[in-house]
Structure 1
């Protein structure tokens, strides 16, 4: 049985040199996520069908800006509305206290969808053309975020068999019991595995919406599975049918993905329609 290493969340502290600057590991993981997105999305713009549509590196940079706004606004509002609506209704100003933590992936995804729609409208592009470009580039950002969760010792897993070789004690939980390192499970599933699947699938031209649908289905299913190993939020616990909030939010994601997959399969391929 292992014990969480208790990393210092501050990667670089310059206050000792008289500079009011502390760089947190979580901030670094965000920078890594943004850098990977720029690199991977730029590679995808070079695929023949995207290149023919005139996609450029500048488009990718603008997409990143829109996406960051969508993630922050959507992620925060998602946490407020999905997880603690009553508390924030009583403390409305706390909605803006993002530095205190509290972001929800599913809310962030909805925020990004709105941001991508705004980008598509401004540039005169199809919404699904934008999301199909972006989808395979998202899982590496999710993987980076899960590493940040692990470094911070947050979002730990449920109790595990102490005999499990990688079972881990998270002192931050307040209980000295063996747990699943669920952050690493999510890093491997929603991050690396989903990235490999989408990247390989997206290397060939697909009907509009199919790559986006694959992301929605893949993330929804893998998140649903990972939630069985992740400790539910203490202020929510388990909900109806003994499912967590993360699982309930993943179900409509899978449903939309399946519907989009079927719809996309009935549309003519781009080259056939030309």
Structure 2
């Protein structure tokens, strides 16, 4: 095996005096901005009968849903020590600089925000979800790129040609190599274990593939529930599959049978819901195009 690529980037993108702007935070910002721009593009083509200001409100509420839902869900299901922090250390919820966000919680936050917004604007909830779904993979893909830059959420050791060294996994590498002569040899040769770049797998599947499929399918008006169902089904399947080559969270490990992870458990309901929504879409109405909004000339 040739020398693997070493994933060692500076996680800080910009220094503004004493303030450090991290790449991971910028990925969130770029994701929201990209989703907003694409949403405005779709709105101008009559895909949701609302004003530009109303769409801006939706983006803001969804952004809050991602952040609050993702953080709360992580603290409930992934935080070391379990949910005891609620009564022993409630301020831990706000220590976002320590890391810890969950996609599944962010998704719930987005759905709650979308439900509230859709009721305010007297729109069918799933017409709003179908509108938003093709925009979400932009943020998903950029978030996985942020994980890669941070050198976190790495994959299992592997001998694939594109395996990479993650210096942040050095302690875990040493522990694994101590009980395996082959891994010990690799550790000595490369000063680390070549691992699957699982973040890039998720970037490709959850970002590029999901965006391409959802965007192309939604170019024409589709029956209600179809786009939402495709989103849920694809994400659930992709996440479940990648978990087989991704190292589980250290504080949780495998939950059953030596391979089942928390990410897989939480992805199964998405697969079921996705199939149910696709079935529902067979006899569902198709939202007609609204009158296209006029394009303002500079």
Tell me the residue number matched to 2:38.
40
2:189 counterpart of 1:192: no
2:187 counterpart of 1:170: no
TM-score, normalised relative to structure 2? 0.84
Mapped partners of 1:173, 1:104: distance in 2: 21
How far 1:122 sits from its partner (Å)? 1.3
Mapped partners of 1:227, 1:116: distance in 2: 28
User: Structure 1: 5+ residue runs without aligned partners?
Assistant: none
How far 1:206 sits from its partner (Å)? 1.2
> Which of 108, 112, 115 is the equivalent residue of 1:114?
112
4+ aligned runs moved over 3 Å, structure 1: 268-271
Tell me the residue number matched to 1:136.
134
User: Structure 2: 5+ residue runs without aligned partners?
Assistant: 174-191, 289-298
Q: Larger relative contact order (C-alpha < 8 A, sep ≥ 6)?
A: 2
Tell me the residue number matched to 2:264.
247
How far 1:97 sits from its partner (Å)? 1.4
Tell me, yes or no, if the aligned pair for 1:10 and 1:23 is still in contact at 8 Å: yes
TM-score, normalised relative to structure 1? 0.91
3-state SS of 1:138 partner: helix
> Which of 228, 244, 253 is the equivalent residue of 2:244?
228
Asked which structure has the greater CA Rg, the reply is 2
Tell me the residue number matched to 1:92.
90
Counterpart mapping for 1:1-274 below 5 A: 1-15=3-17, 20-48=18-46, 50=47, 54-84=49-79, 85-89=82-86, 90-161=88-159, 164-174=160-170, 175=173, 176-241=192-257, 242-270=259-287
Provide the aligned length of Structure 1 versus Structure 2: 262
Mapped partners of 1:136, 1:270: distance in 2: 16
What CA deviation, in whole Å up to 9, does each residue of 1:52-87 have, x standing for no partner? x52332232111100111001100111012223345
